[in-house]
Structure 1
Amino acid sequence: MVKLKILLAEDEPFLGKIIKESFETRDFEVSWVQNGIKAYSVFRSFQPDICILDVMMPEKDGFSVTEDIRKIDTAVPILFLTARSLTEDVIKGFEMGCNDYLKKPFSMEELIVRVKSLLGRSEKHKTNLSIENFSIGNYEFNNTIQELTLGNESVKLSFREASLLKMLIENKNQVLARKLALDYLWGEDNFFAARSMDVFITKLRKHLKHDTNIEIVNIRGVGYKLIIND
């Protein structure tokens, strides 16, 4: 049986040891590092199935490590461990490309459940990657490289922007339920995730504003609809 691999980046020795041993007793293979620079280096060689990153680490923080990882891998699930609770920090984490976050202190049981949930959604996502290029009005969207192109002009999207745009396109001219998007892309439906999604919807509207036939409509209390008038 092939073990699922976890990259754990946590600079607190006691907590890192507990997390590592807890997952190893559940048949995961864990590579534990204690700074951000080492985390990125190990990511490239270890090729984990999921990353658990502390936000505040020496040499390189979790945000920066995530940004580097997303340049070469847009699919691997990333979970942040953070002692920070500011809404802006949570939104920044999602914008950088994390899939979930857990505030310290936390129970090991909750961390394990969240990791298993992310791994389950990741497997479903891998089965739905056959089409990665989309036409949206006058735009071309390449989800593999997270790039939106209009004529000779291209804009690089963040991981979260690209993921949300792909869901909107797959539900074109239909309502994308708010809860469905939050559960799938953020892992939960709460205030922080909902506010974060609103921020990304606003960003997508700005990216698509040069084609007047494209509109992202807010269906109050239900979700969003990407309308394309052909």
Structure 2
Amino acid sequence: MKVSVIGGTGPQGLGIAERLAIAGVEVIVGSRKEEKALDVVAKAKEDLADYDLNMVGMANEDAAKEGDVLILTVPLAAQKPTVEGIKEFCKDKIVMDATVPLETAIGGKPFRFVDLMEGSAAERTAKILEGTGAKVICAFCNISNSHLANIPEEIDCDCLIAGDDAEAKATAAEIIDKIPGIKTIDTGILEKARIIEKITPLLIGLNIKYKSHYGGLRITGIPALDKD
């Protein structure tokens, strides 16, 4: 199974791509420009030379076409044009959306949330992809870039996901849980993304307050998603 990280040259996307590639997943890193994706992948392989990374770079459209599962890791301002640009390649695919509507998109503070007409960024993606059969899942919103980049340390954080298709969520959890330390928690239908996404600015604010880069979330007393 090929996993394409759309907009994967930023800190979050690259962190996810590297973690999954280290875990043995075949990863495609997408970017608006193929050249940038190729350069970032080459640098990642150089920096992580101790690992045999099965990772290549492509333009976002080609990455979406080639990938079996897509992970969207772009800022809010780029979300709509990026999803529209890959829409034709999303037919019947799982699309994990890590977009968070932060006020930074309009020049504000990173610990403030922007309310969207669709209810959440993940629901906006689902709205754009209506009619394609794509199964949209809110995922990776609450895991900091610092955690992802802190290789090879395990990530002491749960990954909250939400989506309307149980089978797609099980597949997503199987992929996410390949990253050491992460436990995937299914919060329910896609509408729950409205809550998941709002946790991120809270965590950012806590990291700022306590001068940390590794603030995360653990859910206790609840079993991880059953992938069987």
Same fold (TM over 0.5): no
**Which structure ranks higher in relative contact order (CA pairs < 8 Å, sequence separation ≥ 6)?**
2
TM-score bucket (shorter structure): 0.3 to 0.5
Normalised TM-score (structure 1): 0.41
Q: Name which one, 1 or 2, has greater alpha-carbon Rg.
A: 1
Structure with the bigger percentage of strand? 1
